[in-house]
Amino acid sequence: MEASLLAQLLNAIGSGGIRIVDLTQPLETGTPIIQLPPDFGASKPFRLEEISRYDSRGPAWYWNNFSCGEHTGTHFDAPIHWVTGKDYSQNATDTIAAERFIAPACVIDVSRQVAKDPDFLLTVQQVESWEKQHGRIEAGSWVLMHTGWSKRKSASDFLNIGEDGAHVPGPHPDLVPFLAKERDVVGWGSEGVGTDAGQAFRFNPPFPCHSGMHGSNKFGLASLTNLDKLPPKGAVLIAAPLKIVGGSGSPCRVLALVQGRA
């Protein structure tokens, strides 16, 4: 008898025919978080507080309290995160249909361009030329921008904030409606601290990735890593936020399933 589909999947994972690539950054006290001007509310950094560790507070058990903003480390942005996405039904971490957390990924490598220009913006033209090589971005796909940014290990290099704001690559404002409407993607993923470019507060509209993606009921993933281990097409992402009731996002473990041995 032919093995069931799930047994085939497990066999492939067990034999290495399908690899699991962890796209998640470690979550710790030093995890960089987005910096907004002081007029705005601030997201708290990750904190871990020990409750007990096999001691008088709990002789046989170790556990911690943790706290952080929803948008900390490798995390998921839900449509309700932005004012443009606030009126969709099923737009929060607890109400999004779970099927939408599993989706294929298109990975666009711009690491060479970003090495020369931290303000690099991915354009429609560049995506269309990627599609000529790798095929059209299918509806329901993630588009992940592989910049190499996650190799910046110190918080100051990663956030890259100058006197005129942050300098981090992202999507060109024109690319967002193209991906959301003409390609009907499930969302956009970046290696930077947020989904938008560092200078996106100056763009028209400001923060076009947040505004346009969430305004089209699409998602975001930020602070991804290991995108260099993914093929341009063919990986499947599992990216599920915590089921925070009414949540705008949450840290999440993002896993990619990739066919073929490393």
For the bound state, the minimum distance from the C-beta of residue 31 to Mn ion, rounded and expressed in Å, comes to 13
Residues in region 15-34 near Mn ion by CB under 5 A: none
Residues in region 123-142 near Mn ion by CB under 5 A: none
E strand map for the chain: 18-22, 47-55, 58-67, 75-77, 102-109, 121-122, 142-146, 161-162, 165-166, 170-171, 187-189, 219-222, 235-239, 249-251, 254-259
Of 12 and 155, the one with the shorter C-beta distance to Mn ion is: 155
Sheet containing 187-189: which strands, arranged edge to edge?
18-22, 254-259, 235-239, 102-109, 142-146, 187-189, 219-222, 75-77, 249-251
H-helix segments, 143-257: 155-159, 175-177, 208-215
Of 120 and 207, the one with the shorter C-beta distance to Mn ion is: 207
Of 43 and 113, the one with the shorter C-beta distance to Mn ion is: 43
The residues that bridge with 102 in the sheet, in sequence order, are 238
Residues in region 74-103 near Mn ion by CB under 5 A: 77
For the bound state, the minimum distance from the C-beta of residue 34 to Mn ion, rounded and expressed in Å, comes to 7
Of 77 and 191, the one with the shorter C-beta distance to Mn ion is: 77
For the bound state, the minimum distance from the C-beta of residue 161 to Mn ion, rounded and expressed in Å, comes to 17
Of 14 and 37, the one with the shorter C-beta distance to Mn ion is: 37
For the bound state, the minimum distance from the C-beta of residue 107 to Mn ion, rounded and expressed in Å, comes to 20
- How deeply is 23 buried, as exposed, middle or buried, from its count of CB atoms within 10 A (0-12, 13-18, 19+)? buried
For the bound state, the minimum distance from the C-beta of residue 5 to Mn ion, rounded and expressed in Å, comes to 34
Residue nearest to Mn ion (CB): 71
Q: Is 172 in the site for Mn ion (CB under 5 A)?
A: no
Tell me the per-residue interface mask from 57 to 76 with Mn ion, x by CB under 5 A, - otherwise: --------------x-----
For the chain, how are helix, strand and coil distributed in percent, rounded to 5? 25, 25, 45
Contacts of 151 (CB under 8 A, 6+ apart): none
**Read out DSSP for 224-260?**
B--GGGS-SS-EEEEE-----TT-SEEE--EEEEEES
Q: Does 81 qualify as catalytic in the annotation? A: yes
For the bound state, the minimum distance from the C-beta of residue 77 to Mn ion, rounded and expressed in Å, comes to 4
Of 118 and 220, the one with the shorter C-beta distance to Mn ion is: 220
Which of 71, 75, 81, 146 is catalytic? The answer is 81
| 126: enclosing H helix or E strand | helix 124-134
- The contact set with Mn ion (CB under 5 A) reads 71, 77
Active site (catalytic) residues: 81
